[in-house]
């Protein structure tokens, strides 16, 4: 028997019988609102439009709504399009551990699976809770990034668990849903190496799409290879190495909502740079940045980060994010337009930067997200240090913060409607949620 798979199924059984804590439900409801906010901002993004052109119209035995539209397409394709919308701006939530990832990538396929049935908001929240605890437990256990695999491989596991929970699959079907969703759903880390492509913002959505496919097959009795984790050629031997994930601990309190649309390891730096912008005087001569190893590895070391040519590379470039913020202020979804990527003042600042990984900051991660930026100008030296940014689990987002984020993206009226529905989501239906999103689209 595959112990890891049994532990996931045991988690599902526990959640079926016990409602998560009120604090965890509140955080999950915030994530339901947050994915709508981030998706709205990406609705007209080129990769989203390309995906719509490629995958619509379509239909299947199970169909789901494309966010902000009246269009229903196969649930697999809706998971890809809605998931790409959720993820594309690099603005949805984050979990930092041995592996850094975005747990709310799990929510769009769960909502899609819930649509058209008898599922309520509380069913969606409990299914998302299963997915969150699975993906965060895996993240705590092993970094597959260090083995050349992308973190969305973990999303394929967690999304399948969340959807299997939602559909109340029996033990055998739940097992095969996981087997089918994992076996052919392993993603290479090349997605986030060098110059980044559109796929960076879509690969988690693809993992979820493939998991929808696996869950749909298993629900009808299709079987998959087993034991998927502990088998001779299973996940442990081929991908992760041996591990013992903790799926019991409630991880919700350590997930974090993003305050800026930047790769999360740049969040403290963006906040510090925004503060420094209002204080520095004179012509900038140099910028010294102290950071930690993981940030340097992911968003500094590649030469492409010094001259990003795509938005996907720019929002994963700490030099670019700091330079943009020192020049223009807080990053927004528009901060990665071509005119900024070619902006000589930004490139000039990047060339004056030096990055140092310190032992102190390395020891603080991932509990904290430390950074220190020192800017020298012809009028003096300006310096700030920060351990944790706004939205970090040390400084969590409130509903008021989320309303401000929503208002920036979709206007105050739509933000108010979305937040009001999300705050009572456990009593609502997926159809009510999707209707609110359609109304936002109408006001666009």
Q: Looking at the domain assignment, is residue 309 inside a domain? A: yes
Please give the pLDDT value at position 186: 97
Q: What are phi and psi for residue 95, nearest 5 degrees?
A: -130, 130
Q: What are phi and psi for residue 352, nearest 5 degrees?
A: -105, 15
Please give the pLDDT value at position 116: 87
443: pLDDT strictly greater than 70 = no
pLDDT band (50, 70, 90) for residue 1: confident
How far apart (Å, rounded) are the C-alpha atoms in residues 267 and 389? 6
* 288, 354 Cβ separation under 8 angstroms: yes
Same domain, 294 and 355: yes
Task: State the DSSP code for 104.
Answer: G
Please give the pLDDT value at position 407: 96
Please give the pLDDT value at position 196: 93
Same domain, 211 and 330: no
Same domain, 23 and 47: yes
Share of the chain above pLDDT 70, in %: 99
pLDDT band (50, 70, 90) for residue 442: low
Q: Looking at the domain assignment, is residue 57 inside a domain? A: yes
The pLDDT tens digits for 110-153 are: 999 999 889 999 999 999 999 999 999 999 999 999 999 999 99
The pLDDT tens digits for 268-288 are: 999 999 999 999 999 999 999
Share of the chain above pLDDT 90, in %: 98
CATH of the domain at 380: 3.30.1330.120
Task: Give the chain's mean pLDDT.
Answer: 97
Instruction: Name the pTM for this structure.
Output: 0.95
Q: What are phi and psi for residue 373, nearest 5 degrees?
A: -120, 130
| Burial zone of 360 (CB within 10 Å; 0-12 exposed, 13-18 middle, 19+ buried) | exposed
CATH of the domain at 22: 1.10.4100.10
Q: Looking at the domain assignment, is residue 396 inside a domain? A: no
Same domain, 81 and 157: yes
Q: Looking at the domain assignment, is residue 292 inside a domain? A: yes
How far apart (Å, rounded) are the C-alpha atoms in residues 269 and 289? 9
Same domain, 22 and 130: yes
Same domain, 244 and 288: no
pLDDT band (50, 70, 90) for residue 4: very high
The pLDDT tens digits for 356-382 are: 999 999 999 999 999 999 999 999 999
Same domain, 197 and 332: no
How far apart (Å, rounded) are the C-alpha atoms in residues 302 and 189? 14
Average pLDDT, integer, range 67-84 = 98
Q: Looking at the domain assignment, is residue 411 inside a domain? A: no
Q: Looking at the domain assignment, is residue 286 inside a domain? A: yes
Average pLDDT, integer, range 305-329 = 97
Neighbour-count burial for 171-190, b at 16+ CB within 10 Å, e otherwise: eebbbbbbbbbbbebbbebe
Q: What are phi and psi for residue 284, nearest 5 degrees?
A: -70, 130
Q: Looking at the domain assignment, is residue 125 inside a domain? A: yes
444: pLDDT strictly greater than 60 = no
Q: How many domains does the chain have?
A: 2
Domain limits for position 21: 3-259+425-436
Same domain, 58 and 77: yes
How far apart (Å, rounded) are the C-alpha atoms in residues 186 and 150? 8
The pLDDT tens digits for 391-433 are: 999 999 999 999 999 999 999 999 999 999 999 999 999 999 9
Angle at 142 (CA atoms; ends 127, 227), nearest 5 degrees? 65
Q: What are phi and psi for residue 220, nearest 5 degrees?
A: -90, 0
Same domain, 229 and 329: no
231: pLDDT strictly greater than 70 = yes
Same domain, 230 and 309: no
Helix count and strand count (H, E) for the chain: 20, 6
The alpha carbon of residue 425 and the mean position of all alpha carbons in its chain are separated, in whole angstroms, by 21
Same domain, 190 and 270: no
Q: Looking at the domain assignment, is residue 410 inside a domain? A: no
Alpha helices in 365-444 (DSSP H): 399-410, 412-423, 430-442
Same domain, 63 and 205: yes
């Amino acid at each position: 028997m595959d112990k890891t798979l049994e532990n996931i199924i045991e988690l599902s059984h526990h959640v079926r019988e016990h409602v998560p804590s009120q604090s965890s439900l509140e955080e999950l409801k915030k994530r339901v609102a947050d994915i709508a906010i981030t998706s709205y901002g990406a609705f007209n993004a080129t990769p989203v439009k390309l995906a719509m052109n490629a995958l619509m119209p379509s239909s299947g035995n199970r169909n789901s709504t494309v966010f902000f539209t009246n269009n229903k397409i196969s649930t697999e394709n809706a998971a890809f399009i809605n998931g790409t919308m959720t993820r594309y701006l690099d603005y949805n939530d984050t979990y930092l551990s041995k592996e850094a990832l975005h747990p709310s990538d799990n929510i769009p396929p769960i909502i899609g699976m819930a649509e058209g049935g008898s599922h309520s908001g509380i069913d969606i929240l409990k299914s998302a809770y299963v997915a969150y605890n699975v993906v965060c437990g895996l993240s705590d256990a092993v970094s597959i990034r260090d083995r050349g695999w992308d973190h969305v491989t973990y999303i394929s596991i967690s999304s399948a668990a969340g959807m299997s929970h939602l559909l109340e699959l029996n033990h055998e079907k739940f097992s095969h849903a996981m087997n089918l969703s994992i076996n052919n759903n392993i993603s290479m880390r090349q997605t986030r190496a060098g110059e980044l492509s559109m796929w960076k913002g879509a690969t988690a959505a693809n993992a979820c799409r493939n998991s929808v496919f696996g869950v749909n097959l298993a629900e009808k009795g299709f079987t998959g290879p087993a034991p998927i984790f502990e088998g001779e050629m299973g996940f442990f031997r081929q991908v992760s190495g041996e591990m013992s994930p903790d799926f019991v601990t409630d991880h919700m309190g350590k997930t974090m909502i993003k305050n800026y649309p930047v790769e999360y390891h740049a969040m403290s730096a963006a906040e510090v740079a925004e503060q420094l912008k209002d204080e520095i005087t004179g012509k900038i001569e140099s910028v010294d940045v102290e950071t930690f190893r993981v940030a340097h590895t992911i968003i500094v070391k590649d030469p492409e980060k010094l001259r990003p040519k795509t938005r996907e590379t720019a929002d994963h470039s700490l030099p670019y994010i700091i330079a943009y913020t020192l020049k223009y202020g807080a990053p927004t979804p528009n901060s990665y337009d071509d005119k900024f990527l070619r902006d000589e003042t930004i490139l000039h600042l990047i060339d004056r930067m030096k990055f140092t990984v310190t032992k102190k900051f390395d020891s603080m991660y991932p509990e904290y997200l430390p950074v220190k930026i020192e800017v020298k100008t012809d009028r003096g030296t300006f310096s700030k240090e920060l351990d944790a940014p706004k939205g970090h689990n040390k400084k969590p987002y409130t509903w008021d913060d989320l309303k401000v984020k929503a208002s920036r993206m979709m206007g105050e009226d739509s933000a108010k409607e979305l937040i009001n529905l999300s705050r009572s989501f456990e009593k609502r239906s997926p159809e009510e949620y999707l209707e609110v999103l359609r109304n936002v689209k109408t006001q666009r």
